[in-house]
Amino acid sequence: MVKSFFMGTTTQHNWLIYILECRDGSLYCGITNNLEKRLKQHTGEIKGGAKYTRSHWPCKLVYKEKSVSRSEASQRESVIKKMSRDEKQVLINLASENIS
């Protein structure tokens, strides 16, 4: 099942699944209801980010997907994390095509 993609902002009640591509080409997947704040956490600007992304910075946002609840976002994140790198890349490429 493919979710809809969007470029807008999110509110406290909307959840996102996102993928960051780090400087070494690795991919990091996470969920949030405040993307701007979460990205600042990843860079170490504010407390709470994953050590992985702080040590692999700079990272760029390459994918985001809407979810209606934290539970659904967590389930989708789990599915994405189990994907191979090639499968994740296909997902990222499809999202890029939908945004263009």
Sheet holding 27-32, edge to edge: 27-32, 15-22, 59-67
Question: What's the gap between Cα 55 and its chain centre?
Answer: 17
pTM to 2 decimal places: 0.79
Could you state, in order of their start, the residue ranges of all structural domains in the chain?
15-99
Q: Is the pLDDT of residue 41 over 90?
A: no
Q: pLDDT digits over 47-72, tens only?
A: 877 777 777 778 889 999 999 999 99
* Domain 15-99: CATH architecture, name and number where available: 3-Layer(aba) Sandwich (3.40)
